[in-house]
Amino acid sequence: MNIIYLVIFFPLISFIFLFFFKNVLSYKIISFISFLLISLSVVSVCLLDIFFFISPYFTFEKCLWSWWNIQSITIDIGILIDSLTCVFLSMITIVACLVYFFSIWYMQHKTNNIGFFELVNLFLVNMLILVISNNFLFMYLGWEGISVCSYLLINFYYSQVRVNYSAMKSFIFTKVGDLFLITAILLLYIHYHTLNFYEIAFLTKIYLIKGTKFLQIVNVLLLIGAIGKSAQIPLQIWLPEAMVGPTPVSALIHAATMVTSGIYLILRNYNVFILTPHVLYMIGIVGGITLILSSIVALVEIDIKRILAYSTMSQIGYIFIALSVGACNAAVMHLIIHAIFKALLFLSAGVLISKCCYEQNIFRMGNQLYKRFPFLYVCFLIGGVSLAGFPIFTAGFYSKEGILLCIYNSKNMFFFIIAILSIILTTLYIFRLIFVTFHTSSNYHITKTSMNCFQYIPLIIFSIFSTTFGILILPNISNMFPMIALPKGYTKFYLESISSILVILNIFISYYFYILRKNIVLKIFILKCLVTLINFIKDSSFGFYYIYELFFLNIYLAVAYFLSRKPFNVCSCFVLFLVKKINFLLISIEDITLNVYIMLISLNIIFVSCLIILY
Amino acid sequence: MISLLHCLCLFLMLFVLGVISIILNDNLLSMFIGLEIIMNSISLLFVVIGNYWSHTDGQVMYVLSITLSAIESSIGLTLLIQYFRQTHTLNINKFSEIIE
């Protein structure tokens, strides 16, 4: 079991190595060595997987050392391995390893490319800490670490002003969620005197933690924390903004790993969430609203990366609904499949963008691209059909069906309608993206560079796992959560056939709209009105900009204005005066010879020792 | 038998002499000699106190610290020679680089 330390150890070593040698060695050597270290981490995760395949009920908890020990408060740094952690570990490390391999090519000629790898390694360490910790506070360390690393990676092209604003925005929005999370952690500790995940689960089992009003508040706060990280509706603005970073970062952080940390939080504390059904229902509502709104906005967006970002938001919303109806196993399954096909979509979009002179507008990318880049087209198609849930051949189909069946089983019509709508909308927007990008003709020139193995290998591996093959190799975690008794008989078959028919029908609809009759959307009046309306919603970010402006910005400005006026500014002026005086004094001391410094130091030592002796 | 108090007085005198020689001198070499005096006086303290409590630890520490001070003085002298070659002076106040 000691292999678990190696999983974190290798990225950490890689980070330290890059930190000290980035100006010494060449790009090739450095990228090779750090890739080797990350793949060693993947190997150790694979060994762990084999172990869990043999004994799925195994749970390993070990306290490494005591972090804080103040009076009665003891916070340990401990690790916890069960099959849920193992699933997340394998997802994170494998996706990170492949994306890392891809970015060796992608970052080749960028400035400060080694700094990029350094940050990715640090991000990986923090993400692993998040999933591996056995208590809330150690998890919070990783939680904060990934938001800092995400900020730095979004801000990678920091020479552009727009990028700075976007990075700042995404950092602040995740930080709001973090504040709610730390409040929830403190409340939990004050009332239950433990932060350990398993101890809290145990307390719920022996009914020491009951579904009181207090627990409801804690759960709502935890939920807001999860919402902040997973980019759900009130705090969702940062995810599309985060797309200004390099594309491998979008693939790794904003599609596969970081956005799943909110779901991990809910899954880890599912025992606590079950006690408050209202909060559980709220998870579903938040997820459902996000799902519908972001899918609709993805229909009119024209930036290829932002479309994929909205699609990530909607899929995370889908997983939230699944959590709400208690379909944890299906949720984890869809989470992993989503990470795979979304990484595939992002990476192929990254190749496409770099080949089209960094043009991200899907209407201007090029002329009949599917003839020029057949391999990329196939990759994109596989990712797209997996996202849409095309029947039988794709992994997305099976994972989505699992969730749909559970939603149907929960007898909640609202969620069921949203799920069916999401199938329609998802298919529409992803095939609009594919058709517009690859099939339309426009006269923009393309720099044709040859593909090499750095692009082929990750894309091929992700493509293979996005097909049905991916669903077969998924680890089994059914022992972690309570099973739901699913309806027997033909229900599953009916649901599958309904969704398959919907998917195929919508592929034809988008084919009709975007290839056969290209400008029909602009000709029909009602559709035109709709598009304008959706664009308006998109620009104001579902109207949340107005709410933020009304409630936070205006209040902040009013308070600032109030404080800058007469009775209060005397105080600040006095502080300023004091600081200036002290500054003057210190500067006058500074400009004397070394001997006087030594004398002052000796006198100080004598003075302090006299004080110590006297008291 | 020399009493502890005498030894401590000797230590204190040596120590204060060293500190004063650092404070008063401009010359880098003299300051360096002062540092050596401080170092050796502390080594003396180790031995004396170790002897008083009849421990051998003090003597072990003496051997360690004398080794360290030998290394330190060799490095210091090397630097000093390099400084002298470059600037042709050993006045400590001329080396300062933070004066505008």
ipTM of the complex: 0.76
Q: Using alpha carbons only, what angle is made at residue B9 by residues B45 and B51, rounded to the nearest 5 degrees?
A: 35
Q: Bridge partners of A196?
A: A135
Q: Bridge partners of A467?
A: A394
Domain boundary among A518, A548, A576: A518
Q: Do B93 and A594 touch (CB under 8 A)?
A: yes
> Is residue B99 over pLDDT 70?
no
Pair (A436, A324) in one structural domain:
yes
Residues of A in contact with B25 (CB under 8 A): 595
Pair (A504, A587) in one structural domain:
no
Using CA atoms, how far residue A470 sits from A79, A340, A397, A481, A572, in Å, is: 29, 9, 11, 22, 62
Report the run of H or E that residue A565 belongs to, with start and end: none
Yes or no: say if B29 and B93 are a contact pair by the CB < 8 Å rule.
no
Residues of B in contact with A604 (CB under 8 A): none
Tokens found for residue A52: 């869990």
Yes or no: say if A129 and A141 are a contact pair by the CB < 8 Å rule.
yes
Query: Given pLDDT bands bounded at 50, 70 and 90, which one contains residue A541?
Result: low
Q: Do A594 and B96 touch (CB under 8 A)?
A: yes
Distance from CA of B23 to the nearest CA of A (A): 5
Predicted pLDDT at B17: 93
Q: Is residue A61 part of a domain?
A: no
Yes or no: say if A317 and A234 are a contact pair by the CB < 8 Å rule.
no
Residues of B in contact with A602 (CB under 8 A): 19, 23
Predicted pLDDT at A480: 67
Q: Is residue A421 part of a domain?
A: yes
Pair (A377, A451) in one structural domain:
yes
Pair (A507, A608) in one structural domain:
no
Domain boundary among A457, A486, A518: A518
Please tell me the total count of domains within chain A.
Answer: 2
Q: Is residue B39 part of a domain?
A: yes
Instruction: Identify the domain containing residue A599 by its residue range.
Output: 566-614
Predicted pLDDT at A443: 63
Please tell me the total count of domains within chain B.
Answer: 1
Pair (A351, A443) in one structural domain:
yes
Q: Is residue B40 part of a domain?
A: yes
CA dist A515 and A439 (Å) reads 7
CA dist A273 and A266 (Å) reads 8
Q: Phi-psi region for residue A73, left (φ > 0), alpha (ψ -120 to 50) or beta?
A: beta
Tokens found for residue A134: 């056995």
> Is residue A513 over pLDDT 80?
no
Pair (A475, A362) in one structural domain:
yes
Pair (A457, A575) in one structural domain:
no
Residues of A in contact with B99 (CB under 8 A): 591
Instruction: Identify the domain containing residue B78 by its residue range.
Output: 27-95
Strands A60-70 and A73-81: antiparallel
User: What value does the mean pLDDT take over residues A445-462?
Assistant: 74
Query: Given pLDDT bands bounded at 50, 70 and 90, which one contains residue A475?
Result: low
Indicate which CATH number applies to the domain containing B51: 1.10.287.3510
Q: Do A595 and B26 touch (CB under 8 A)?
A: yes
CA dist A33 and A198 (Å) reads 38
User: What value does the mean pLDDT take over residues A350-373?
Assistant: 77
Identify the three-state secondary structure at position A143: helix
Predicted pLDDT at A438: 81
Residues of A in contact with B83 (CB under 8 A): none
CA dist A288 and A329 (Å) reads 19
Domain boundary among A448, A483, A518: A518
Q: Do B23 and A593 touch (CB under 8 A)?
A: no
Identify the three-state secondary structure at position A544: helix
Q: Do B26 and A598 touch (CB under 8 A)?
A: no
Average pLDDT of chain B, as a whole number: 88
CA-wise closest residue to A116 among A232, A250, A230, A226: A250
Pair (A488, A414) in one structural domain:
yes
User: What value does the mean pLDDT take over residues A553-568?
Assistant: 85
Yes or no: say if A144 and A122 are a contact pair by the CB < 8 Å rule.
no
Q: Using alpha carbons only, what angle is made at residue B51 by residues B47 and B56, rounded to the nearest 5 degrees?
A: 80
A491 vs A432, higher pLDDT: A432
pLDDT tens for each residue of A110-148: 878 888 888 889 999 999 999 988 888 889 999 999 999
Pair (A495, A572) in one structural domain:
no
Instruction: Quote helix, strand, coil % in chain B, to nearest 5.
Output: 80, 0, 20
Q: What percent of chain A has pLDDT over 90?
A: 9
CA dist A365 and A447 (Å) reads 11
Measured over the CA atoms of residue A428, residue A433, residue A436 and residue A439, the dihedral's sign is: negative
HSE-CB of A490 using CA atoms within 13 angstroms: 3
Burial class (CB in 10 A: 0-12, 13-18, 19+), A193: exposed
CA dist A7 and A131 (Å) reads 12
> Is residue B98 over pLDDT 70?
no
User: What value does the mean pLDDT take over residues A147-174?
Assistant: 89
Each as own residue / partner, the long-range contacts of residues A459-465 (CB below 8 Å, 24 or more positions apart, any chain) are A459/A102, A459/A344, A459/A347, A459/A348, A459/A351, A459/A375, A459/A376, A459/A379, A461/A98, A462/A98, A462/A340, A462/A341, A462/A343, A462/A344, A462/A347, A462/A379, A462/A383, A463/A344, A463/A378, A463/A379, A463/A382, A463/A383, A465/A340, A465/A395
| DSSP structure string for A279-339 | HHHHHHHHHHHHHHHHHHHHHH--BHHHHHHHHHHHHHHHHHHHHHTT-HHHHHHHHHHHH
CA dist A144 and A125 (Å) reads 12
Q: Is residue B11 part of a domain?
A: no
User: What value does the mean pLDDT take over residues A84-107?
Assistant: 87
Query: Given pLDDT bands bounded at 50, 70 and 90, which one contains residue A160?
Result: confident
User: What value does the mean pLDDT take over residues A275-304?
Assistant: 87
CA dist A251 and A272 (Å) reads 32
Q: Is residue B14 part of a domain?
A: no
Which runs of E-coded beta strand occur in A384-535? Answer: none
Q: Is residue B18 part of a domain?
A: no
A532 vs A427, higher pLDDT: A427
Query: Given pLDDT bands bounded at 50, 70 and 90, which one contains residue B15?
Result: very high
Q: Is residue B7 part of a domain?
A: no
Q: Is residue B33 part of a domain?
A: yes
Average pLDDT of chain A, as a whole number: 84
Q: Is residue B62 part of a domain?
A: yes
Q: Do B22 and A593 touch (CB under 8 A)?
A: no
Pair (A578, A429) in one structural domain:
no
Q: Do B23 and A591 touch (CB under 8 A)?
A: no
Pair (A432, A349) in one structural domain:
yes
Q: Using alpha carbons only, what angle is made at residue A496 by residues A277 and A296, rounded to the nearest 5 degrees?
A: 65
Yes or no: say if A361 and A302 are a contact pair by the CB < 8 Å rule.
yes
Pair (A450, A581) in one structural domain:
no
